[in-house]
């Protein structure tokens, strides 16, 4: 017998199921252990069990079997494949098997990081094909513009798939997809086989894949031979969503409305009647503070046993989880009784960043006449890692530090060195130092040698964990401290997901050989860059903090949802160039629209009584600056019911956060700043800009002298600058001939690309796209100049300009040297005459000149004495008002001030202009702002007062405050700053 129901979630999905269960027990004479309930998530099953206990009609009772879909997998194997033994490989083992296949078929590029990247893309294709039960066919005519590696794979898809499957079978491995498929085949082949249970309830599933559909059809066959099968679909308002209609059609089922007599007793609200509010926040901290303030008002009025069913906070973006948990500490009783079902990234844990730097050092080693040699630049970066002085303080001892510096500075940064050379440079030290250095050599070099691979990697990771526990953590660590919890999470990740892979030496000898050592390093790097930890509390106790999908089938009276932004809800899929809509059609794969997320959201809204949705708003055109598309659906639905749903802004006063707001300035900081200002080399534009954009970053960079993690976009910028320099230097003091430049662009770009080893910084797809973007930009930019017929003469390329001014300080006058490197100095001929044009090349998409602010500030400079320091209550705010919130216009005036103080005659030029060249594929490549004679005189005369005011503000401010916005995640000091902001600076090894 098969029963199929549509159960409106606003009836209370699980509560209504409980009533159906009790009715079936009486009418059908089931014994509870003969019944199996299966839910999409474990959490839904736990809540169902809780409701069963709460609403039981008997004083004592026995539970039915309540399983998640993953747990049902194990039951299904026991029932229908009892004789089959199989091993399910981890994703890393699957990658190793596919690497072996690609090696056999001679399809490896020979560059490990690229091969690992493409292996991940290929595995995703093979997995999707398997879920749909499709035999792949070769795609001989792939879409234009697809990288060559992807084309090669598609052309040999059937061969790769066949060999991959053969290897799996030879080694006794099965994927879950294969096992589900086999169970489905067994059920369809032998429908009279009776399972150990009489009744099966499949509750709340949607969007089934082909293999899952085959399994469900097998269960329907069992139902014709004695199994009582009940399928319950969750619906919004009892309506048949198109997704459900399609699933019912594919299963050849007819659904009826859930029995009215089994409806849970609760008031049913339509969406028009529900309390729904949409709020707009300017940053994540404002959003979480808003929710925490609401919780402060709610939680004291709720008994602990009521809370799990009454209130829920949904955090669909894992990056918001840590700020929310930190803010929640303001409510101790809520923070101590808390359930969090999500994962948060462990990528920035200091141990993880240290391991990644070690891998980078060894991944770039090469074999020379002297033996295995390591890049000096990578080693220098490793030595500056803030955790190093805690784990191995010997390397920071004065005598060793000085020798290390001599060893590094005596060579060019691009040089290579051997371990023997390093040991020789540090030889002859006291025995204690020698012993400690021996440990350092072992952990950072010797354990990573090929002869020790792969077990050596597992051993060195285990050693680092022990050293971190002994030296890396503060001595008075307590177990309920978040830093300790975070460390335990990272340790668990390494022990469960990384170490087993490298302890199974037979895997490596089977799939790869010692010569494939670099593939092991790349695979390890790939795993570490995906490090996550799943938090778990008590699902039926305290405040529930869930990811969006965990809310399926659950009913809460009140729900707070943070990050209600497009790209987060619904989420944006990771881009795979092999699974575009065009290629999906060619491969026979379904094209998934937003139907599934539309279904999830509508049932989610229908299940709650009150909802508070907060999205982050940004005036910038970023990927996550838009509210979710579901905001518009909510508003439309409310309007249909005669109610409005306005967006409300969070302009309410937010109480100060109970975390560090900045790093207090001390007397020694002021002394260090004076030393920097008095330095012979002088200070650059970035000295000023860094402070006024983020004082904390200024502190890490200039006072702690920590090296910033290199960003791939910065490397791309260096490439463009180098290509420009090589293209234009030959035309110094003469007119640019564009017909000479244009043919050289592809070859020159290739040479610079190879010299800078861009494959180290980018994944293969990003490398392909970035290179094509730069090439297209360069060609279009110079072609547009050629087409304009404009005459340009190069006066300088990458030319240094500098000047001096006096800073009154502490009764003295400090002479300050300021300098800058101008990208291009150009003489441009126009109908107005000769123009001196100072151009700066910008690779950032947000680079721009703010013309209105420039007009205002220029007028201000023309008013004598209008920029004197001390007149404004907050000089920092005043600077941003003059130059823009990101100091967009500061460079405009700073470089012109330097230029105007050169011993140089500009009288032959009709005007002087400053401009930006922006990497874009739009037609307007340049933005130019021109100055008149009076304005230039005002800049030369009054701009030093601006610089004096900025420097005095830097010297006199109370603290190096933390700048917070969503660009923080891309900052090279992110992990260090995170520790300081939460008062845990010691964790990352920085005093």
What is the per-residue DSSP string for 684-715?
EHHHHHHHHH-HHHHIIIIIS-PPPPPPHHHH
Residue 711's pLDDT is 60
Residue 7's pLDDT is 95
Average pLDDT over residues 870-887: 74
Residue 614's pLDDT is 95
Is residue 481 scored above 70 in pLDDT? no
Residue 476's pLDDT is 46
Residue 474's pLDDT is 58
Residue 57's pLDDT is 56
- Residue 414: CB atoms within 10 Å: 9
Q: Which residue has the higher pLDDT, 159 or 301?
A: 159
- Which H or E run contains 808? strand 791-809
The upper half-sphere exposure of residue 760, i.e. CA atoms within 13 Å in the direction of its Cβ, equals 19
Residue 865's pLDDT is 62
Closest CA to 879 of 954, 793, 785: 954
Rounded to an integer, what distance in angstroms lies between the CA atom of residue 540 and that of residue 269? Answer: 25
Residue 654's pLDDT is 46
The upper half-sphere exposure of residue 472, i.e. CA atoms within 13 Å in the direction of its Cβ, equals 21
Residue 361's pLDDT is 92
Residue 969's pLDDT is 63
Of 331-340, 349-358, 655-664, 753-762, which range is least confident? 655-664
Residue 984's pLDDT is 42
For residue 903, give every residue at least 6 positions away whose Cβ sits within 8 Å of its Cβ, in sequence order, or none: none
Is residue 292 scored above 80 in pLDDT? yes
Is residue 303 scored above 90 in pLDDT? no
Residue 348's pLDDT is 77
Residue 624's pLDDT is 54
Strands 35-39 and 65-68: parallel
Residue 343's pLDDT is 76
Is residue 970 scored above 80 in pLDDT? no
- Residue 406: CB atoms within 10 Å: 10
Residue 735: helix, strand or coil by DSSP?
strand
Of 162-176, 769-783, 870-884, which range is least confident? 870-884
Residue ranges of E strands in 73-179: none
Does the bond joining 105 to the residue before it have cis omega, within 30 degrees of 0? no
Residue 332's pLDDT is 80
Digit-coded pLDDT (tens) for 620-663: 544 456 889 999 899 988 888 888 888 888 865 544 444 457 78
Residue 623's pLDDT is 46
Is residue 139 scored above 60 in pLDDT? yes
pLDDT band at residue 710, thresholds of 50, 70 and 90? low
Residue 424's pLDDT is 93
Residue pair 602/236 in contact (Cβ under 8 Å)? The answer is: yes
Long-range contacts of 804-813 (CB under 8 A, 24+ apart): 805/944, 805/947, 805/948, 807/677, 807/948, 807/951, 807/952, 808/948, 809/674, 809/952, 809/955
Digit-coded pLDDT (tens) for 500-554: 888 877 777 766 666 678 888 888 998 898 887 766 666 788 889 999 999 999 9
Computed over every residue of the chain, the mean pLDDT equals 84
- Which H or E run contains 485? helix 482-493
Average pLDDT over residues 418-441: 90
Strands 558-561 and 2-8: unpaired
Residue 763's pLDDT is 67
What string of DSSP letters covers 31-56? -GGGEEEEESSHHHHHHHHHHHHHH-
Digit-coded pLDDT (tens) for 937-946: 889 988 998 8
Q: State the alpha helices, DSSP H only, in 591-678.
A: 595-607, 629-640, 667-678
End-to-end alpha carbon distance in the chain = 70
Q: State pTM to two decimals.
A: 0.70
Digit-coded pLDDT (tens) for 799-854: 999 999 998 888 888 999 999 999 999 999 877 789 999 999 887 656 789 888 88
Residue 334's pLDDT is 76
**Percentage of residues in the chain with pLDDT exceeding 90?**
31
Residue 235's pLDDT is 93
What string of DSSP letters covers 221-238? HHHTTT-EEEEEEEESTT
- Distances in whole angstroms, Cα of residue 434 to Cα of each of 437, 480, 658, 889: 5, 38, 45, 54
Residue 413's pLDDT is 60
Is residue 985 scored above 60 in pLDDT? no
Of 41-50, 217-226, 463-472, which range is least confident? 463-472
Is residue 15 scored above 90 in pLDDT? yes
pLDDT band at residue 58, thresholds of 50, 70 and 90? low
Average pLDDT over residues 891-899: 92
Is residue 870 scored above 60 in pLDDT? no
Is residue 619 scored above 70 in pLDDT? no
Residue 989's pLDDT is 32
Digit-coded pLDDT (tens) for 65-86: 999 999 999 999 999 988 877 7
Is residue 14 scored above 90 in pLDDT? yes
Residue ranges of E strands in 174-245: 199-203, 228-235
Digit-coded pLDDT (tens) for 265-285: 888 888 878 889 999 988 888
**Percentage of residues in the chain with pLDDT exceeding 70?**
89
Residue 68's pLDDT is 94
Residue 712's pLDDT is 59
Residue 203: helix, strand or coil by DSSP?
strand
Strands 647-649 and 275-281: parallel
The residue with tokens 């490397």 is 715
């Amino acid at each position: 017998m098969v029963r199929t129901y549509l159960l409106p979630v606003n009836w209370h999905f699980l509560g209504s199921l409980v009533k159906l269960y009790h009715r079936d027990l009486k009418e059908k004479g089931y014994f509870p252990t003969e019944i199996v309930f299966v839910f999409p998530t474990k959490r839904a099953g736990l809540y169902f069990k809780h409701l069963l206990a709460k609403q039981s009609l008997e004083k004592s009772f026995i539970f039915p079997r309540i399983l998640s879909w993953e747990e049902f997998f194990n039951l299904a194997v026991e029932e229908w494949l009892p004789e089959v033994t199989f091993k399910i490989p981890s994703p890393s083992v699957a990658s190793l098997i596919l690497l072996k296949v690609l090696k056999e078929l001679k399809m490896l590029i020979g560059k490990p990081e690229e091969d690992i990247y493409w292996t991940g893309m290929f595995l995703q294709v093979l997995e999707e094909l398997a879920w749909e039960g499709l035999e792949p066919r070769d795609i001989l005519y792939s879409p234009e513009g697809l990288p060559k590696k992807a084309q090669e794979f598609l052309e040999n898809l059937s061969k790769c798939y066949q060999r991959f499957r053969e290897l799996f079978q030879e080694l006794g491995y099965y994927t879950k997809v294969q096992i589900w498929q086999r169970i489905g085949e067994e059920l369809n082949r032998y429908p009279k086989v009776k399972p150990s249970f009489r009744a099966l309830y499949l509750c709340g599933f949607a969007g089934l894949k082909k293999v899952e559909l085959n399994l469900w059809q097998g269960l329907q066959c069992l139902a014709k031979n004695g199994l009582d099968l009940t399928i319950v679909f969750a619906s919004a308002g009892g309506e048949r969503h198109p997704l459900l209609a399609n699933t019912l059609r594919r299963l050849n089922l007819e659904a009826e409305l859930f029995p009215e007599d089994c409806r849970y007793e609760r008031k049913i609200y339509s969406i028009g009647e529900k309390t729904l509010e949409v709020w707009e926040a300017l940053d994540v901290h404002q959003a979480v503070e808003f929710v925490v303030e609401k919780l402060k008002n709610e939680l004291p009025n709720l008994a602990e046993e009521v809370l799990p069913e009454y209130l829920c906070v949904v955090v669909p973006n894992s990056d918001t989880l840590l700020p929310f948990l930190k803010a929640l500490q303001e409510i101790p009783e809520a923070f101590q009784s808390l359930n969090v079902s999500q994962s948060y990234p462990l990528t920035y844990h200091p141990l993880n960043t240290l391991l990644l730097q070690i891998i980078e050092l060894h991944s770039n080693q090469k074999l020379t006449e002297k033996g295995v040699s390591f890049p000096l630049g990578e080693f220098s970066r490793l030595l500056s890692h803030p955790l190093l002085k805690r784990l191995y303080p010997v390397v920071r001892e004065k005598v060793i530090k000085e020798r290390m510096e001599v060893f590094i500075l005596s060579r060019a940064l691009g040089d290579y060195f051997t371990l023997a050379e390093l040991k020789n440079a540090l030889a002859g030290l006291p025995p204690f130092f020698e012993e400690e250095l021996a440990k350092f050599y072992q952990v950072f070099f010797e354990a990573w040698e090929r002869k020790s691979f792969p077990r050596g990697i597992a051993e060195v990771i285990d050693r680092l964990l022990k050293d971190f526990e002994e030296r890396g953590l503060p001595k008075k660590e307590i177990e309920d401290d978040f830093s300790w919890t975070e460390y335990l999470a990272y340790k668990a990740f390494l022990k469960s997901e990384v170490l087993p892979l490298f302890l199974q030496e037979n895997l490596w000898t089977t799939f790869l050989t010692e010569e494939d050592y670099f593939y092991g390093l790349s695979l390890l790097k790939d795993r570490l860059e995906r490090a996550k930890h799943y938090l778990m509390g008590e699902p039926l106790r305290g405040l529930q903090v869930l990811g969006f999908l965990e809310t399926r089938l659950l009913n809460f009276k009140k729900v707070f949802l943070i990050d209600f932004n497009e790209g987060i809800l619904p989420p944006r899929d990771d881009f795979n160039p092999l699974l575009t809509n065009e290629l999906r059609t060619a491969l026979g794969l379904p094209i998934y629209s937003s139907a599934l997320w539309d279904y999830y959201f509508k049932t989610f809204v229908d299940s709650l009584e009150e909802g508070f949705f907060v999205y982050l708003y940004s005036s910038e055109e970023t990927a996550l600056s838009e509210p979710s598309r579901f905001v518009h659906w909510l508003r439309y639905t409310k309007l249909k019911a005669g109610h409005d749903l306005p967006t409300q802004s969070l302009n309410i006063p937010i109480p100060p956060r109970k975390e560090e707001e900045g790093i207090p300035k001390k007397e020694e900081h002021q002394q260090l700043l004076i030393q920097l200002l008095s330095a012979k080399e002088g200070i650059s534009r970035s000295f000023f800009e860094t402070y006024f954009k983020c004082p904390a970053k200024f502190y890490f960079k200039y006072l702690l002298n920590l090296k910033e993690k290199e960003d791939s976009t910065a490397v791309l910028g260096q490439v463009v600058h180098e290509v420009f320099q090589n293209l234009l230097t030959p035309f110094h003091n003469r007119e640019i001939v564009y017909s000479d430049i244009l043919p050289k662009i592809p070859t020159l770009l290739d040479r610079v690309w190879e010299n800078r080893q861009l494959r180290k910084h980018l994944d293969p797809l990003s490398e392909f796209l970035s290179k094509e973007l730069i090439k297209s930009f360069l060609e279009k930019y110079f072609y547009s100049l050629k087409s304009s017929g404009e005459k340009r003469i190069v006066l300088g390329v990458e030319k240094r300009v500098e000047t001096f001014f006096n800073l009154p300080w502490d009764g003295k006058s400090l002479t300050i040297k300021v300098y800058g490197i101008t990208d291009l100095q150009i003489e441009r001929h126009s109908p107005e005459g000769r123009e001196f044009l100072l151009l700066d090349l910008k690779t950032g998409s947000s680079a721009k000149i703010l013309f209105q602010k420039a007009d205002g500030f220029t007028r201000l400079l023309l008013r004598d004495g209008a920029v004197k320091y001390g007149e404004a209550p907050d000089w920092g705010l005043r600077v941003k008002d003059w130059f823009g919130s990101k100091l967009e216009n500061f460079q405009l005036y700073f470089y012109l001030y330097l230029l105007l103080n050169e011993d140089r005659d500009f009288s032959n030029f009709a005007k002087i202009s400053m401009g930006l060249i922006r990497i874009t594929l739009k037609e307007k490549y340049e933005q130019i702002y021109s100055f008149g004679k009076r304005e230039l005189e005002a800049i030369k005369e009054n701009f030093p007062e601006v610089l004096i005011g900025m420097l005095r503000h830097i010297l006199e401010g109370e603290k190096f405050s933390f700048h917070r916005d969503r660009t923080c995640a891309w900052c090279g000091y992110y992990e260090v700053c995170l520790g300081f902001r939460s008062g845990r600076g010691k964790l990352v090894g920085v005093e």
